[in-house]
Amino acid sequence: MPITLPNTGISGLVIMALLTSAELFAATPNELARSLSETRATLARTTRAAPYAPTETPLKYSPLYSPLRSSNPINIQWNKNGTPREIKGGILQTANTISANSLQTRSGKTTQNETTARDFLRINRFLLKIQNPDQEFALHQVQYDTLNSNTRLRFTQQYAGLEVWPAEIGVRLDAQGNVVMMNGIYAATPRHPLNVTPQISAEQARNQVMSSYPVDTQATQPVLIIYATVDQEPRLAWRFQVLARLDQRIMVVVDALSAKVLAEFNQIHGAAVTGSGQDLTGQVRTINVFEKEGRYVLNDTSKPMFAQYGLTEPDVNLGTILIYDAQHADAEIVQPSILSSTTNNNFLADGVSAAYNISEVYDYFLQKQERNSINGQGGSIIGIVRVGENYDNAFWNGSAMYFGDARPYAASSDVVGHELTHGVVEYSAGLVYEGQSGALNEAFADIFGEMTQTRTQGQPDWIIGGQELGVTIRSFTNPEAYDQPSTMSSYQTLPNTEDGDNGGVHINSGIINHAFYLLSVGLNDAIGTEAAAKIFYRALTQYLTRNSQFTDARLAAINAAHDLYGQNAIEAQKVAEAFDAVGLLADNPTTPSPTSFNPVSEAPDALLSACLTSTGDTKLCRYDTNLGDTEPVILSTSSIKPLKRVSIQGDGSMAVFINANDDLCFIEINNGQEACAGFDDVHSVTMSPDGNRYALTFYDNNYRITNQIVVIDLTTNEANKIFTIKAPALDGSEPTDTISGVDTLVFSSDSKTILFDAQNLIRTAEGETIGLWGIYSLNINSSKVLSVVKPTNGQDIGFPHLSKTSDNFITYDIYNTATDKLQVHTLNLNNGKDGLIAEYVGSYSFPTYNGDDSSIVYMMPDENALFGSLGYQLITQHIATDRLTPQGEPQSWLNNTGTPNLYRQGTFVGQLPVAAYFDLQTSVLRAWVTYADQLIQGDMKLVEIDSNGFWFQLLNAQPTGTVSEGVTGTLTNDILSIPRASITNADGNTSYWNITLQLHIKDGNIYFYMPNDSMQATE
């Protein structure tokens, strides 16, 4: 088939090969791999992997690894970073008598001692927390001990071709060649691939340091390394020596992402003082500054959150308002400087405005809403002024507020309040920035921007912008004056694209803004701004969820009013009246929950996982009692990446995995027939449940992960899709090109969405670049990327997996880098509810739902494991029907195995398209019906139930171009037939029904009657 492919280098050529073999996939893994290999053979490039060699051998029931039972107790001492400092006690690994030449290592020619030492390291890789010891440990020196005829092999550590410094281990062997001890200090392989692309050049790093030395001081050429001390996370860094004097050779390590000197820094205590300065409007403002060695910096440490944490100086993470100056640098590459002065009244006007207004916004939320900063827990607030050259925007990017230099944004108190409220929304409801949820996000930012300004100025002006900004942007009283609707009758349905304003988020927000205005002062007997703000704040923080729609906002505000003022309070009645006035009536259906679907089968769960063989290799193993397995059996010929989860087709027939040579391999689960494609640069892969789509990530030529996801559809003649992943903005701004790499991938049941974890390079206010991992989703059709679990400093978030009977639930883990503790979580994607399944000391869990979502299975360290074993056990935790909450105690399932993925064999159905859904919260049935050659969307309210059936009153009906997968009802001769309607309960469990309704007209109204016997359960 002809393929048009963009110029993507190696990855593009790989995908060309895969696409040309699409028609062969339905046959066998061997045919697919053979076609791929033949195509790849035409490419002029060196590969690490061996060429295609099909294997059609039966299942390999060779023994798994038997842990060593030493006659002497094994003693292990531990480093602070959780790696073994020393292992000793008897014979740890017997001498390898096989020819040393059978082992290929980076050190070239091997000896029997090196072969034995590497056997020891490979077999104990999980205990050592090293994914690939053969690649990560390089033989540095061999020392012979004449006192006891021992030999010590010293290994340095490396990662992605870079030295991990100052890491080193030693493996000691006795005179017979047995391993008797290992010791040293090194770094565990990172949970996620480490970013090894420097943001700071070697010259920049050296010049920065040398600027503090005399001009004639010499320095060596910087070398790029991974800097890993025992008490801190590994960092990409430049290492060099400064030759200061004859008696001084100073070793310097500079962070290659932030230019921070990692080896030393100086902490100087200072004091909070009061200063003043002229702001952008010409007013002299009293501001809180921080004095430090005779210099005054725009750091406000006067707030209660500073004392809350017992701080003595400004902190970028806690208790402080910090103002920085971008000095007109581009928003994406800005390295802001600290705004400071030698006096307490001579500051940049932009900085004074930002300091004053952010302080006012903080005070509003604390005093009026009892919220302590953006995150509600006293987290620091960062403002960066003078961003870009003639940059006409202000935005919140998830960690700081940026103010462009084209207008005096920092001087506009409602704009500052607006941007800071985007942060409050992120830390509370987390409203997704598209469609109605995105318009709610904008509306709440406008509302509390106006309320913070009202506190400062004494009364509202009901506009955003105005005199301070030099332009009015939006109006609460008359949204139409600024091209916004004020009621649902003028709601604008726009495409979810950049040109369509993400579905009209800045346009339709006018409806909610106007409702708030009416509630505050616009209705007869309105309740006032303070009461209205309390209601809307509680609705935001206690009721709304990430996908909430306008109707959900109405219900949330009414519930909030009931909470604050009582069930029969006038305030709640006025909330309903305000929303009625803008056309958001009580009968609008709320956001439908994603439907659930049936398990593949009712058979017991089966398992694919990593396990050790008798030779110390890690293979793919199967444990399927339905196929007669009484214990895990070795399934794959290839060795696998031990900490990469295999992807399994929805019907349990086929799996795809990455082998130890970074090759793409297919395997049939029942018979173990396996074939690999001959690639050498595949980092991760996932297969859609129907087996028709694949998503892959690749290493670049420098063996670094990339920010691209390649999607292949084997059912179409279209070219593959290559998505360059960018970090989604949280307030509608352009996505930022800060994603450095993508790791784990998993498809949704309908193959339209990919869930993945990725590293986002976030620049702190101090100019330091840190890589934080979070979870995102990619819509393949729209190319939209959304944040699912936001990156958080100090946490490594990742390894997501979807539930087996719904796309509405995921399980994932969070590793705390400070405590070395791991948490296994569950998450309802529709309402944001999170469940804590387990917490323990460890680095990996690879959690997964079982076949019917009744349990979570994860791996954890096995404290009772014998030395030399895999060191992990699989745990099962039963969960409630909400798919979130643990029930009962966790149970140990299997020892000496890891990276689990469960499956059941049978027919995979997945999500079913529906022609109607019933909303339990509002008792409204929304249906899509074909009538008179038109597609009609209609809402029907359940108004009466009698002994024979249900009465629905038609609320509205209008032509629409939207229908789910072409499934519709039909209206013929006053009989409405719905081929499949869904009802999803609060736990996210869906039932499906074929229903028939009879049309009636009473008192000029249209009703539909559904007899009890017309409801038939369906799949």
The single residue of 506, 514, 801, 825 carrying the catalytic annotation is 506
Candidate list 419, 434, 571, 674, residue with the active-site label: 419
pLDDT > 50? residue 129: yes
Q: Beta strand pairing status for 693-698 and 150-159?
A: unpaired
Token pair for residue 8? Answer: 């993507």
Given a cut of 60, whether residue 543 has pLDDT beyond it is: yes
Least confident of 142-146, 228-232, 811-815, 1014-1018: 228-232
Mean pLDDT across the chain: 81
Identity at 849, one-letter amino acid code:
Y
- The pLDDT score that the predictor gives to residue 82 is 76
Is the model's pLDDT at 471 over the cut of 70? Answer: yes
Distance CA 153, CA 142 (A): 5
pLDDT computed for residue 462 by the predictor: 95
Q: Could you tell me the CA-to-CA distances from 557 to 146, 382, 531, 535, 536 in Å, in that order?
A: 81, 30, 11, 6, 6
Per CATH, the number for 606-824 is 2.120.10.30
Q: What is the rounded end-to-end Cα distance, in angstroms, of the chain? A: 38
In this predicted structure, the answer to whether residue 739 has a pLDDT above a threshold of 50 is yes
- What is the structure's pLDDT at 496? 62
- Bridge pairing between strands 340-341 and 299-300: unpaired
Segment 406-432 shows an average pLDDT of 87
The listed range with the strongest mean pLDDT (298-312, 519-533, 608-622, 719-733) is 519-533
Whether the bond into 166 is cis, omega within 30 of 0: yes
Residue closest to 557 by CA, chosen among 358, 140, 546, 577: 577
Check whether 517 has a pLDDT greater than 60.
yes
More confident residue, 572 or 315: 572
Residue 568 has pLDDT above 70, yes or no: yes
Residue 731 has pLDDT above 90, yes or no: no
Burial 532-555 (b: 16+ CB within 10 A, else e): bbbbbbbbbbebbbbbbbbbbbbb
DSSP, res 576: H
Q: Are 881 and 904 within 8 A, CB to CB?
A: no
CA 554 to CA 532: how far, in whole Å?
13
Strands 321-325 and 75-78: unpaired
With a cut of 70, say whether residue 498 has pLDDT above it.
no
Strands 924-931 and 969-972 come out as: parallel
Go through the chain and tell me how many residues it has.
1019
Q: Which residues pair with 981 in a beta bridge?
A: 916, 993
For residue 910, give both structure tokens.
């997945």
**Contact (CB, 8 A) for 157 and 168:** yes
Task: For residue range 102-112, list pLDDT tens digits in order.
Answer: 444 434 445 88
Contact 725, 710 (CB under 8 A): no
Cα–Cα distance, 893 to 911 (Å, whole number): 30
Q: Is the pLDDT of residue 144 over 70?
A: yes
Q: Indicate if the pLDDT at residue 268 is higher than 70.
A: no
DSSP conformation class of 344: T
Query: Rounded distance, CA 670 to CA 691, Å?
Result: 16
Instruction: Give the CA count within 13 Å in the CB-facing half-sphere of 653.
Output: 12
Backbone angles phi, psi at 800, to 5 degrees: -75, 150
CA–CA separation, 52 vs 602, rounded Å? 38
Choice among 17-21, 55-59, 216-220, 887-891 with the minimum mean pLDDT: 55-59
506 catalytic per annotation:
yes
DSSP β-bridge partners for residue 168: 156, 185
> Which pTM was predicted?
0.69
Cβ-proximal residues to 4 (8 Å cutoff; 6+ apart), any chain: 719
**Given pLDDT bands bounded at 50, 70 and 90, which one contains residue 292?**
low
The more confident residue out of 463 and 65 is: 463
The yes-or-no verdict on residue 115 having pLDDT over 70 is: yes
Residue 580 phi, psi dihedral angles, 5° rounding: -60, -40
Please answer whether residues 442 and 505 qualify as being in contact, where contact means their C-beta atoms are separated by less than 8 angstroms: yes
Cα–Cα dist 877/882, whole Å? 14
CB crowding 725-757: b at 16 or more within 10 Å, else e: bbbbbbbbbeebebbbbbbbbbbbbbbbbbbbb
The answer to whether the Cα torsion of 32, 35, 37, 39 is positive or negative is negative
Residue written as token pair 């230019």: 259
Q: If we measure between CA atoms, which residue out of 691, 692, 666, 693 comes closest to residue 677?
A: 666
Q: Which two tokens stand for residue 897?
A: 């195995």
Q: What is the dihedral of CA 34, 38, 43, 48, to 10 degrees?
A: 40
For residue 887, what pLDDT band results from cuts at 50, 70 and 90? very high
Domain residue ranges in the chain: 62-185, 202-265, 606-824, 916-1017
Which pLDDT band, with edges at 50, 70 and 90, does 945 fall under? very high
The two structure tokens encoding residue 870: 């895999």
- Residue 422 among the catalytic residues: no
Say whether pLDDT at 963 is over 70. Answer: no
pLDDT of residue 30: 60
- pLDDT at 248 (0 to 100): 55
In tens, the pLDDT along 294-347 reads: 777 888 888 888 888 877 788 888 889 988 888 887 655 556 666 666 666 778
What's the pLDDT band for 701 if we cut at 50, 70, 90?
Answer: confident
Q: Model confidence over 796-829: pLDDT tens digits?
A: 999 999 999 998 899 999 998 778 789 999 998 8
Q: What is the mean pLDDT of residues 924-948?
A: 88
Q: Which of 405-414, 700-709, 729-738 has the lowest mean pLDDT?
A: 729-738
Sequential DSSP letters for 394-449: EEE-SS-EEEETTTTGGG-HHHHHHHHHHHHHHHTT---SSHHHHHHHHHHHHHHH
Contacts 24+ apart (CB under 8 A), 473-477: 474/446, 474/509, 474/510, 474/513, 476/446, 476/450, 476/513, 476/514, 476/516, 476/517, 477/514, 477/517, 477/522
Please report how the helices 29-40 and 10-20 are oriented relative to each other, as an axis angle in degrees rounded to 10: 130
Is residue 547 very low, low, confident or very high in pLDDT (cuts 50, 70, 90)? low
- Cα of 859 vs its chain's centroid, Å: 21
